[in-house]
């Protein structure tokens, strides 16, 4: 059994940023564990541009963005083990992992940062009737096949779900010569960024059908077609609205699920809304010394925000290893009207940085609403927004000074004030 001050699980954008921040905060003994054969995570297959506008003030591809962090990790001499699968993390921060070089081994960590990312929701979770023919892929699998393996999944394509990966793959498949017939979305709004709808669908004349879903898949050996139908307000197909599409490929972009089997095994409390850990202002989970950041915590729409959040986790893990500092009474953050969740879920004003970013998503599309931050009857902030949509993450900032001036404060509510 080995010992290590800080073990980071996951070598994608979150794990890389956390490792760099922790080293810069003074932690020397860091080990980063990655199950793939290279660092960078999902960014390695995201060859489109649009990354780094917040972090580097320039537009980069996914591999370019990842490379900047990988180079910094190498410059700082941070130890990394690739092709290494973590099997278990105990509540006492005992990390059990395996690879071909060392076999099964254990590391007793002083602190652990969970940065495992997320996975796509597969067909089996969608309850689509029909056989299981070849030609049905998650959008991320198709992205890897096209961008890294040089393989085309098919030529006549239907996409179910308007998440960002699905929108980007609509454009990618079109540029590779495929015909994307339609993108269908179960909800009455898109799950992706507005800019991706414009750049990936509108610019290529690809129709987006909201409140539609796949109700049947045809074909036994290979997909031959799908049937779409409109759904009602309860998301149930409306009889008589069926439309058939002849196609050989169906891409699924129906949501991302934080990869939290290790978190659950460590006894970490998970949010029923995000499926990620419940964390405080330090991004520390309910298990002391175990932190979480990136898409394993909640699904982000921009990698720049992942890096910002992960850097905070790295700094706070370093602080934990140095003693943690004074603790005060926590203030619970509650999701009010129109808000699905907040990250973090509670804050300790004594342990906060001067300004704390709280991120959240809304539960529907709202126009002309105001984001209201309140403590009981007192309104701390009110900010008018032209439009709020579930596909774009929102944020507010809490001031440490403002919270310390209210020592009796125990709960803050973030809600929407909707125009009649």
Per-residue pLDDT of the chain (420 residues; tens, 9 = 90+): 799 999 999 999 999 999 999 999 999 999 999 999 999 999 999 999 989 999 999 999 999 999 999 999 999 999 999 999 999 999 999 999 999 999 999 999 999 999 999 999 888 778 788 888 999 999 999 999 999 999 999 999 999 999 899 999 999 999 999 999 999 999 998 888 888 999 999 999 999 999 999 999 999 999 999 999 999 999 999 999 999 999 999 999 998 999 999 999 999 999 999 999 999 999 999 999 999 999 999 999 899 999 999 999 999 999 999 987 778 899 999 999 999 999 999 999 999 989 999 999 999 999 999 999 999 889 999 999 999 999 889 999 999 999 999 999 999 999 999 977
Q: How far apart are the first and last CA of the chain?
A: 62
Tell me the backbone φ, ψ of residue 250, rounded to 5 degrees. -125, 120
Q: Quick one: DSSP state of residue 375? A: E
Q: Which residues pair with 8 in a beta bridge?
A: 32, 113
> Long-range CB contacts (< 8 A, 24+ apart) of 318-322?
318/6, 318/21, 318/22, 318/25, 318/26, 318/27, 319/25, 319/282, 320/111, 320/282, 320/284, 320/289, 320/291, 321/5, 321/6, 321/27, 321/110, 321/111, 322/26
| Whether 306 contacts 65, CB under 8 Å | no
Q: What local confidence, expressed as pLDDT, does residue 295 receive?
A: 96
| Whether 139 contacts 252, CB under 8 Å | yes
* Helical pair 303-321 and 62-76, crossing angle rounded to 10 deg: 20
Instruction: Tokens for 23, please give them.
Output: 């080293």
Instruction: Tokens for 63, please give them.
Output: 């591999």
| Whether 192 contacts 361, CB under 8 Å | no
Q: What local confidence, expressed as pLDDT, does residue 102 receive?
A: 93
The Cα 118–Cα 260 span in angstroms is: 8
Residue 326, preceding peptide bond in cis (omega within 30° of 0): no
Instruction: Say how far residue 111 (Cα) sits from the centre of its chain.
Output: 22
Q: What local confidence, expressed as pLDDT, does residue 346 receive?
A: 96
Q: What local confidence, expressed as pLDDT, does residue 317 receive?
A: 97
3-state secondary structure of 25: coil
Instruction: Tokens for 25, please give them.
Output: 């905060």
Q: Quick one: DSSP state of residue 122? A: -
The CA distances from residue 149 to 121, 144, 175, 176, 349, in Å, are 22, 7, 16, 14, 49
């Amino acid at each position: 059994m080995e010992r290590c001050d800080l073990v980071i699980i996951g070598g994608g954008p979150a794990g890389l940023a956390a490792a760099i921040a922790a080293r810069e905060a003074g932690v020397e003994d860091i080990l980063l564990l990655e199950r793939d054969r290279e660092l960078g995570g999902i960014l390695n297959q995201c060859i489109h541009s649009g990354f780094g506008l917040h972090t580097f003030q320039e537009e980069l591809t996914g591999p370019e963005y990842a490379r900047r962090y990988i180079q910094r990790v190498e410059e700082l001499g941070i130890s990394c083990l690739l092709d290494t699968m973590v099997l278990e993390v105990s509540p006492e921060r005992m990390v059990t992992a395996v690879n071909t070089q060392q076999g099964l081994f254990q590391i007793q960590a002083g602190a652990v940062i969970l940065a495992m990312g997320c996975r796509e929701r597969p067909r089996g979770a969608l309850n689509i009737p029909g056989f299981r023919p070849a030609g049905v892929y998650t959008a991320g699998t198709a992205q890897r096949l096209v961008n890294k393996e040089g393989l085309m999944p098919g030529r006549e394509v239907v996409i179910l779900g308007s998440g960002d990966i699905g929108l980007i793959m609509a454009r990618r498949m079109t540029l590779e010569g495929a015909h994307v017939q339609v993108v269908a979305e179960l909800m009455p709004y898109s799950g992706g960024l507005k800019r991706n709808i414009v750049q990936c669908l509108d610019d290529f004349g690809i129709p987006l059908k909201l409140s539609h879903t796949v109700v049947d898949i045809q074909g036994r050996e290979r997909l031959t077609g799908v049937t779409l139908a409109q759904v009602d307000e309860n998301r149930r197909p409306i009889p008589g609205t069926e439309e058939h599409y002849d196609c050989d490929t169906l891409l699924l972009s129906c949501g991302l699920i934080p990869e939290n089997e290790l978190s659950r095994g460590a006894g970490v409390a998970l949010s029923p809304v995000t499926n990620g850990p419940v964390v405080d202002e330090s991004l520390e989970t309910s298990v002391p010394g175990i932190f979480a950041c990136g898409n394993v915590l909640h699904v982000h729409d921009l990698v720049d925000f992942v890096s910002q959040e992960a850097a905070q986790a790295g700094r706070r893990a370093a602080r934990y290893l140095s003693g943690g500092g004074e603790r005060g009474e926590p203030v619970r953050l509650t999701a009010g009207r129109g808000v699905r969740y907040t990250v973090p879920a509670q804050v300790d004003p004594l342990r906060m940085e001067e300004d704390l970013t709280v991120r959240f998503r809304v539960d529907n599309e709202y126009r002309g609403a105001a984001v209201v931050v309140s403590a009981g009857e007192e309104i701390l902030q009110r900010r008018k927004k032209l439009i709020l949509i579930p596909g774009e993450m929102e944020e507010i900032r809490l001031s440490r000074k403002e919270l310390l001036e209210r020592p009796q404060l125990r709960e803050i509510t973030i809600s929407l004030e909707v125009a009649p």
